[in-house]
Structure 1
Amino acid sequence: MELIVDLLPFLMFLVLTPLLFTGYPVAFVLGGVGLAFWLLAVGTGIENPNSFFLVVSRIFGGVVSKLVLVAIPMFIFMGTMLERSGVAKELLYTLQLMTRRIPGGLALSVTVLGVILAATTGIIGASVVMMTLLALPVMLERGYDKALATGTIAASGTLGILLPPSIMLVVMADLLSTSAGGLFLAAIGPSLFLALLYMLYIFTRTALNPGLAPPLAEVAKADDLSVGRVLRSFVPPVLLIVAVLGSIFGGIATPTEASGVGAIGAVILAALNGKLNFRTLQDVVERSALTTTMLFGLFVGATAFSYVFALLGGHHLILELMSATGISPWAVLAMLMLAVFILGFFFDWIEITLIILPVFAPIITQLDFGSHLPDPAMTTTWFAILMAVNLQTSFLTPPFGFALFYMKGAAPEGVKLADIYRGIVPFVILQLIGLLVLLTWPELALWLPQTMAQ
């Protein structure tokens, strides 16, 4: 009997894993497994029936009453409204004119656009679909290699999950009981480093093989690129980025308050572009509500699962197992990163985050990495950014990389899923290189939060 009691937390994962592949909503699977094992614990006398109210209280306190989570629907609204404002279309054309004589100039422009969209939307589906519709037909028309074109768009579009204001970082901050603003600061360095890796790869490959990306010098006349055009294209998104991130980093607003600033800023941009009407507003509100409902359903299910896991002594069991086997902190971190990467082939970031973080975050914070970290108190922040960089690959890795399906749905005829799969392989490798660099040099993520704290 004692053996069964000790193994209950592991049995939770054994039962959860096959059920996740059944096609049932993940929120119901997580909550259902948690409820089933709580009933099993009560039936065997391990738990008191009154502990059910502890689970309900955790859901209320951890999800319903958390003000920081208000930022999620606001950022979703901001990104969805920007998708309809026409800002990205004008910006891409201007970038195309500016880089028309550089090898792979259009692909480099798409990468820059991905960074800007990431800092203004934070919604992967919106960014990937928008850039696929705007850039992919032009790239194919200009003779770009299909794999290079699709890989560039998919990888650049997924930067929104990492570069603030990222919804994923808001969720992680809540699960880790840490500052969302601190995670935003820590994510800037790794995000820009990944974008730089993409651009170096594109420039080097197209310089060595110009046939992959023919130059675009004939696209425009000399007078098409003017100071006025550049200002009209860059100023609106830059002002929105400064309003949202500047207010957070400057201590003027919390991430929750800044999300409201971003939402009203996106509405103003849509109005200035003549895109704001009742039909657009209704569509944006409906899509934002549906996305928000899905996310918060997952929060409730995952909270129930993780709390029952804790009630059954799961955290203590893992720590005891690590102590008995003598596994080093680095081995634990490596196995966890490998598990997250493999899970990314099958599940979305929100599902992985809500399963992994509540269970393993308390364990990671107790690991000692010695002098490798400039400040041991920053272990949680470093771990969160490692997770975020790792989870970015979940959008690109087949068979269930969501960015790949977003792209295939919006791509012109003639672009096959095989072309997209070929295109993302180099960028997944680049992301893994970025993860290894972050593991080796934590300062890439930690120097900015430390500098701002001084």
Structure 2
Amino acid sequence: MLDLQALGIGGGSVAMFAMLLALLVTGMPLAFVTILVALTFAFGWFGPMAVPIVTTRIYSFIMQYVFVSVPMFVLMASILDRSGIARDLFDAMRLFAGRIRGGLGVQTLIVAVILAAMSGIIGGEIVLLGLLALPQMLRLGYDKHLAIGIVCAGGALGTMIPPSIVLIIYGLSANVSISELFTASFLPGLMLAALYAAYVVITGLIQPHKAPVPAQDEVVPLKEKLRLLKGLILPLIVVVFVLGSIYGGIASVTEASAIGVVGVILSTLVRGEFSLKMLMDASMQTLRTCGMIVWIGVGATALIGVYNLMGGINFIKELLLGVSDTPIVVILVMMLILGVLGMFLDWVGIALLTIPIFAPIVKTLGYDPIWFGVLFALNMQVSFLSPPFGPAAFYLKSVAPPDIGLGTIFRSLLPFIGLQILALALVLIFPELALWYR
């Protein structure tokens, strides 16, 4: 049998990383890569006796009660994708866009915030906005790059705005309160949306041709305004019930997710859109999405479990703490690591692979893991837009006009990536932005 212990923890860490990288390059899914590497090192380092310990760790991760909220929020998003709620919400927001320069862009961002507060899912929101808002902005003469950036950046706000799946996975990995994470991320999430909106308005003022004022025939009559206003009612009721029940201490995150699913289903019933086929399609999409999350969770949990048994977490801790005597420098190095990983890996894998290692170090440095959770979510915001594998660009490309290529999309996202980094820097410098509720 191969004796990997002879490598020592330093050599073992390098060998594990090299094996991970080599298998990922082959195109093998991350979930299966992590499981294979975990089993290889469990057998090679400890022998067969280590396998039951790994499986126990996996079981304890999957059996956490709050994990039930993940499929619930995914199901909410899947039903929203198939209903006309998002379309009517977008149309209703025309009442508030008015005839201001950049109004349609700001309207799109407000809709993005409301949709994020209803589901916490990224991909579906970008696709919805790509189908609803992008053609509208292009038709009204918006600059192509500005319109693309608004849709992708706004659609990615689900990372920050509760109930964010990213924050739920972080909370499970770092073993911190998810309700507290939701509260902490709310203000930074709105701040980021406000930065986007300010950028759109300022761009419109400096370069009027990029964000034109709607023509006179775009004015909405009073009767139409009253009809459109109805489109705001159901989404806002769902948001109030889901977030209000969490912040009011009425329900846990898991219970609130169930309330959200019931609310969205009732909304489709009221609108006359509900059907068994829609529910089945939404359920199948939920199974596919959650299956991916669970498998990545199994693989990452197994890998981190084996690495912890090897002494790897203490090794990484000493390595990072040895970078500098200044704690904030260590945090910046962690942000850099997350940023680089975000360019190549899915956020689920990043969270499950890094947070069990980073969270104890953050506590050792004397920082609040809730604050670090907000930083992590902001970092994942950047990863959603960053080339070469920014998921937001690929989601939008799937519904964008044929003349809009991936290169155009990525170029359009650069100013918004800058705004995300600015928001990240502000929360780093002023932790009170995340810990405002204390």
**TM-score (structure 2 length as normaliser):** 0.95
Instruction: Report what 1:408 is aligned to.
Output: 397
Instruction: Report what 2:339 is aligned to.
Output: 341
SS at match of 1:320: helix
Residue identity matched to 1:351: G
Aligned counterparts, 1:16-415, within 5 A:
16-42=20-46, 49-63=48-62, 65-224=63-222, 228-229=226-227, 231-322=229-320, 326-368=324-366, 379-415=368-404
* 2:12 is the alignment partner of 1:13: no
| 1:9 positional shift | 3.0
| 1:162 positional shift | 1.4
Structure 1 stretch 381-390 or stretch 355-364: which is displaced more? 355-364
| 1:325 positional shift | 5.7
Q: Distance in 2 between matches of 1:29 and 1:233?
A: 45
Cα distance change on mapping 1:219 and 1:279 into 2, 3 Å: farther
| 1:231 positional shift | 3.6
Structure 1 stretch 386-395 or stretch 417-426: which is displaced more? 417-426
Residue identity matched to 1:333: I
Q: Distance in 2 between matches of 1:382 and 1:226?
A: 45
Structure 1 stretch 321-330 or stretch 24-33: which is displaced more? 321-330
Is the CA contact 1:299–1:354 (under 8 Å) kept in the aligned structure 2?
yes
| 1:219 positional shift | 4.4
| 1:226 positional shift | 5.9
> What is the aligned-residue RMSD (CA, Å)?
1.7
Q: Distance in 2 between matches of 1:176 and 1:392?
A: 19
| 1:268 positional shift | 0.8
Instruction: Kindly tell me the number of residue pairs found equivalent between the two proteins.
Output: 434
| 1:2 positional shift | 7.6
| 1:271 positional shift | 1.4
Is the CA contact 1:9–1:312 (under 8 Å) kept in the aligned structure 2?
no
* 2:7 is the alignment partner of 1:4: yes
- CA deviation digits over 1:189-210, x for unaligned, max 9? 1100000000000000011111
Q: Distance in 2 between matches of 1:290 and 1:263?
A: 18
SS at match of 1:169: helix
**TM-score (structure 1 length as normaliser):** 0.92
Residue identity matched to 1:20: L
Instruction: Report what 1:373 is aligned to.
Output: none
Q: Distance in 2 between matches of 1:319 and 1:121?
A: 35
| 1:414 positional shift | 2.1
Q: Distance in 1 between matches of 2:238 and 2:60?
A: 32
| 1:95 positional shift | 1.8
- CA deviation digits over 1:252-293, x for unaligned, max 9? 110001100000111111112221112111111110111111
* 2:434 is the alignment partner of 1:433: no
Residue identity matched to 1:297: W
Q: Distance in 2 between matches of 1:153 and 1:14?
A: 37
Is the CA contact 2:324–2:330 (under 8 Å) kept in the aligned structure 1?
no
Is the CA contact 2:92–2:230 (under 8 Å) kept in the aligned structure 1?
no
Residue identity matched to 1:305: L
| 1:356 positional shift | 1.0
Q: Distance in 2 between matches of 1:282 and 1:222?
A: 37
| 1:221 positional shift | 4.0
Q: Distance in 1 between matches of 2:334 and 2:398?
A: 33
Is the CA contact 1:100–1:219 (under 8 Å) kept in the aligned structure 2?
no
* 2:416 is the alignment partner of 1:418: no
Cα distance change on mapping 1:58 and 1:211 into 2, 3 Å: same
